[in-house]
Structures are given as structure tokens and as C-alpha cells.
Chain A
Amino acid sequence: MYLCQIAATGNGAIETTENGMRISGLPYNAVLFSHGATMFENPEIALDELPHTDDLDWERLHPLYARAMRVASAIILTIIAVAITALNFVPKIPLAPVAVLYSLLAIATAVAMTWPGISIQRRGYVLRDKDILFRKGVIWRSVTAIPFNRIQHVETSSTPIDRKFGLATLQLFTAGGSGGDLKIDGLGKDVAESLRVFILNKAGAAIEHA
């Protein structure tokens, strides 16, 4: 049975534990129990024994990413500020609304400058043997997982600001989704590239096996 399993997963190593056998080639180092196993029996895997995604070491994004976000919003805010200032020169516009606009702009600036530092703390990814996980969100938190054998194609891109800071965006596409199904912004350019190659290889290998 174990031989059968290992043959199916390709290269795997077996080590015996007190509970049964630990096969490290399986996606999760799942512990398979040896009771009543015959050649074609599929061993029951209790939900508790699946690897948890709790205590993972989340890879942080590039440290310059927060600054790149601040620069991007600074550009937009400057354009808005110029537009508001231009309003001042238009006659017949009372001063009060312009003041309100300025104070709104000040709030927006404060948020835009502090928020990237907070949100980048919560963003991160984990690359595992068979899948990639990405977490994000400060108030609404989410963790998305994509198995490599479901990836259709991978894309890296970078905006001019990204290029200035040596950053890139990695997008993973699965079937049935619209646009990028998983978008990881703010990776180092070299990291994004090596991730792209790694994931493509993994995805390709998974498809060949299937």
C-alpha cells in the first residue's frame, strides 16, 4: 500500500514513527496508519492529522513596498491638491467648500501615508510543496490558497513606480476566474521572477503527472 502511495506521488521518503509511517513525499507529511491496510485500500486520514496552516512562517513582502505605495498615493494626492488650488482661482466659488476639500485631503494624506505601513504587516505568502498561500487584510482578513496543480498561467508585471523601487507583481491564474485570481504586489523583482519559474515548474509537473 505504501509503495503504491509513493509510486503515485513520485519521490517520497518513508520514516517510521510510533503511530505509523510518516511519508514526507506526500503533500502534508501525512501520517498514515497501518491498521487493516491492503494493496488498494485508501487509508483514512483524520482531519486533525492534516497539516495545519496556522503556524506557518509567512514571508514578508519587500520592505520598500510600503514606500512605493506611499509614492503612488502621493502622486495622486498632489494632482488632487493642484486641482483644488486651481479651484481657488476660479471666481464665484466661496472659500468654505475649498477649505472642506483641503481638510478632506489632509485626512486622506494622513491615511495614505500610515496605512501602507500597517497593511504590509498583514500581507505575506507561504510557498509550500504543493500550494501557495497568501494572506492579507487588516480589518477583513483573508487567506487564499492555490494548489499548484490548478494554476493555468503565471504573470509578473511592474508599474513605473514598481520599477523605480525594484518591485514586481505576481499574478496567478486559475480556471474560471476573471482577471488575476491571486495577485501578490510588492515582491522584489528577483523574488517575483524566481517564484514565477518555481510555480510554473510545479504547475507543469503536476499536469504531467495527471
Chain B
Amino acid sequence: MIAVLIAYQGDLVSRLTLGGIAFAIIVAAASLLSYWFFRFQISDDSILIRQGVIKKKQLDIKFDRIQGINTKQNPIYRLLGLVTVSFDTAGSAGNEGNLPAVTRGFADSLRERIGKPRTAEIADDEDSEAKAGALVHLNWLDMIRIGLADRRALIVFAFVGPLMERIDEDIDRYIENFISIAAANGIELDTASGISIGLAIFVAVILLFIIVSIAAAFLRYHNFQLFLDGRTLRSHAGLVTAHEHSMELGKIQTLRLQQGIVQRLLRRYRFTARQAISSGKNRSQKVFVVPVVTAELADTLRKKFLAPEGGRLSQDPTSDRFVSISPHYMRSKVLFIGLLPSLSTAAALSIPLGAAALIFLLWLPAVATMSYRNWKRAGFMHDDQEIIRRSGLLGYRTVGLLFRKVQRVTVSQSRYQRRKGLASLRMYMASGSVRVPYIEHGKAKQLRDYILYKVESSRRAWH
């Protein structure tokens, strides 16, 4: 076909038309072929997918390996009432299959079929109630909040910030030009209005980024709804392409409530539920996101997520039940990261640099402020089922977990900690580790022993 195209003698327009037609034919043929060779079969315990025209690929996904089913619906599929189903599988990297263009009803039946054996174990009367309404429903105001809190805008801004200086120079030159032209025409313009033009451009750039991130939030999270069907969590969102994610409650390893600086002003949080990291080459992790919640809503959600055993504690970072960690945390940081390095650097460089080496001493107050803030925000609380750790520098982050889901636990002590009778407790979860630093050694050991007791006497699956 390409040869025909090259051999064809004609003007540009007819060449392009012919090329377009040829391209369309190739695309159509390729999609027909891949459609024809895509076959799948659902057996009692697994789903078999066979695909590929030249390179054949066969996937066998066992139902009990499937962590969750996600669907995606682009605008064309939406018109046709179709969805693309993808499976989250645990620990089988590169073995992620998806089923394009199946009906919504089929996807639902598949979800039910895979979810059923597990939901049947826990027959709750509440299930039917829970099925009725969405747990969370985000409106347009929330979209604006998500957009404002978007970190990417801040990062872009951080990159653009230094560039602004150069842009400013250009603007200055342009403005000078502008003023001189204006003066030539008999209009009086002063430099003050020139500065305001520069400022206006600066503000406009920021506004543009905010608008873009708000638009992105609308695109991704429009009409976000969270449902709980039995023990399966399901979210539905999206303006153009609708995304649907699902996750089993039992798979949750850690719950995380995060708050950046902007979110702090808005009094909102980002709530995520983390699943186990899959082993293998690409260590992927499924994270279930509720992009914007209030602290109260997060607490009601976690009560539902961790029921029946846990969820009694509040993950609200402003809760007064948090126990603070030892101030030695701050002191050791100031000593070992602040004082000693800055003093030794200043001393070592005082010979070549002279008094200028004293500038390295500025490192100390920076470290001191940071470790003070870190210490102020650090804390933990626990009951007999779960523990919540709080940390942060500018914002807040709280991570909650059930004791019985811990994989392994380490109590460690540095020399400094040993002298002060302190220790750090690190709980390794299948989703990553959670550390409670600088608590009393006795407390750390007590918690460790209790965690071991909870894990070893637990008869329930951790995943």
C-alpha cells in the first residue's frame, strides 16, 4: 500500500487524501483483526484472556488473586453503554489484563461474581442500607478545592518562579518601549503602571495554573461518588472518561489522611486507603483515593472501613488524644544534623574562607525550626486494635493501621536513644512501614509484644 502511495503521481492534496484513506483502511483492518483474535472465557475460578494477532498472548487470572475491578468509560463507550474492565492483581507484575468494550451489566455481574465468595462470609443486615446511598458525593465546590490543593500547580510555579525574573527583564524592556511610544504620542505613563503590568502578568500566570488544575480536577473527579456494596468499596468519577474503582475492605493495609498547606486553609484532607505492594519487578501499589474530605467525614469513613474490629479512634490530626513523642527527637536532630555538621563545616572551611565560613552556622536555626515543627506534629495514639501516627512539617499526615495486619515489627535504639531510655518502633505493613520514633523504650517493647500477640492470635487473613 505504501508502495502504491509512493508510486502514485499526483498533486499534494490527492496524495494526502489517498494516504488518509490508506491509513484508515489499515487502522480498521488492525482493529478488526485484534477484535477477532480477542477471546475471553470465564470459568468457575478464573478468567482466561487470549489476544494478539501476530504475537499471541494468553492470560489466566485467578479470581482469588484479583484485588479489585476497575472500569473506565470513554465518551464513545459511554454513548454505546460499554466499559473497559481492568483487574488489579496481587503479586503478578506484567500480568494485568483488561477487557475492552464489555457492557456495564456484564462488568457488574463479573464484579459480583468475583466479590461474592468473600462477601458471603460476612452477611450483614446493614449491607442493603449501605447499598442505597453514596457515602461520599463531591460537588463542584469540592472540585475547586481539589484544584486549589493540587501540588502540581505549586511545583510548576516553583519552576516558573526563577524564570519569572528573566521574563520580568523582557517585560521591563517592553514596557520602556511602550512608555517611550506613549510619550511620543503625548500620553504620560510612569514606571508604576509598568510594574503593575508585570505584576498583572505574574498573577495571571498563577491564576492560569489554578484554573488548569481546577479543570483537571473536574475532568478527573467530577461527580465523585463513593459506595459501599457489602464489603466492597467502589468509587465512580469523571467528566469525560468515567473511572470506576473498587477495592475490598479486607485488603486495606493503611489509611492515610493528608493535609497540605492549602488544604489546611480549606480545612479539608485527602483520604487514601492503601493496599499491599505487589512483589515482583514493578512494585505497584493500589491506592484508593477520596480526594477531598472533612476530618469528620474521614472518621465516619474509617469507622465503616475498619468495622467490625477497629475504627473507634479518630484520625483527625487536631484530636487531643494524640500523645506526643519525646522532645529528645528534636534535640538529637538539632545536635546531629544541625550543630555538629554546621560547626565542623564552618571550622573546616574557616581556613580557606575566613569569616565567610560562619555562614554555615545558618544551617543550625534552619534545622532547629524544622525539627521543632516536626516534633510538634509528631504523635501517636492507639487502642487495643489499631494505632494512628501523626507527622508533618507544614501540613499534617496521619496514618492508621490495624495491629493484626502488621507483617513484622522492629524496635531500634541509637546510642543517644539508649542513654535517654528511648526507642523507635517500626511497623512493617504489606503497604510500607510506619514508624513511631522516640518513645519510651518500655512503651515500644510493650507495643511490640502486643502487636505480636495480636498478629499471632489473629485468625483472619491480613489481605
Contact = CB atoms under 8 A, between A and B. Distances in A.
Contacts of A131: 452, 456
B459 interface: yes
A178 interface: yes
B410 A145 contact: yes
B306 interface: no
A74 to B, nearest CB: 29
Interface stretch (A50-58, A98-106, A190-198): A50-58
Interface in B269-301: 276-277, 279, 283
Nearest to B444: A143
B453 A141 contact: no
Interface residues of A, number: 38
B410 A53 contact: no
Interface string A120-147: 0000000000110000010111111111
Interface stretch (B187-195, B242-250, B411-419): B411-419
- Size class of B's contact patch? 35 or more
A27 B458 CA distance: 11
A174 B407 contact: yes
Interface string B432-463: 10000000000001101110110111111111
B461 A210 contact: yes
B457 A143 contact: no
A8 B460 CA distance: 12
A164 interface: no
Interface stretch (B174-182, B332-340, B423-431): B423-431
Contacts of A137: 412
Contact of B457 (A27, A181, A182): A27
A144 B459 CA distance: 22
Contact of A8 (B418, B428, B459): B459
Given A8-B459, A176-B429, A176-B430, A145 B450 contact: no
Interface in B169-215: none
Interface in A139-194: 139-150, 174-178, 181-182
B413 A130 contact: no
Interface string A18-42: 0000000011101000000000000
The secondary-structure label for the interface of chain B is mixed
Nearest to B418: A141
B414 A139 contact: yes
A53 B459 contact: no
Interface string A51-67: 11110000000000000
Interface in B7-29: none
A47 interface: yes
Contacts of B411: 142-143
B453 A176 contact: no
B101 interface: no
A45 B384 CA distance: 10
B410 A143 contact: yes
A147 B449 contact: no
B412 A176 contact: no
B452 A174 contact: no
Given A175-B276, A175-B407, A178-B283, A149 B414 contact: no
Contacts of B432: 176
A209 interface: yes
A10 to B, nearest CB: 11
Contact of A175 (B410, B418, B446, B463): B463
Contact of A52 (B406, B445, B457, B459): B445
Contact of B452 (A54, A145, A182): A145
Given A51-B449, A181-B428, A26 B457 contact: yes
Q: Which of B253, B412, B415 has the most CB of A within 10 A?
A: B412
A149 B415 CA distance: 32
Interface string B73-97: 0000000000000000000000000
Contacts of A145: 408-410, 448, 452
Nearest to A174: B407
Given A27-B452, A147-B452, A174 B408 contact: yes
A144 B410 contact: yes
Given A30-B453, A140-B413, A150-B407, A175 B430 contact: yes
Given A130-B452, A174-B408, A175-B276, A142 B413 contact: yes
Nearest to B275: A176
A8 B430 CA distance: 25
A181 B452 contact: no
Contacts of A8: 459
B261 to A, nearest CB: 30
A28 B453 contact: yes
Contacts of A143: 410-412, 448
Contacts of B253: 176
B408 A146 contact: yes
A137 B406 CA distance: 23
Given A26-B457, A150-B407, A150-B462, A176 B276 contact: yes
A174 B448 CA distance: 17
A150 B279 CA distance: 15
A47 to B, nearest CB: 5
Contacts of B406: 150
Given A145-B409, A210-B458, 6 more contacts: A131-B452, A145-B410, A150-B455, A150-B462, A176-B277, A210-B461
Interface of B: 253, 276-277, 279, 283, 406-415, 418, 428-432, 445-446, 448-450, 452-453, 455-463
18 contacts: A9-B457, A30-B453, A52-B445, A140-B413, A141-B418, A142-B411, A142-B413, A143-B412, A143-B448, A145-B410, A147-B455, A174-B408, A176-B431, A177-B407, A177-B428, A181-B407, A181-B408, A181-B428
- 7 A-B pairs with least C-beta separation: A176-B430, A142-B412, A175-B430, A130-B456, A174-B407, A146-B408, A27-B456
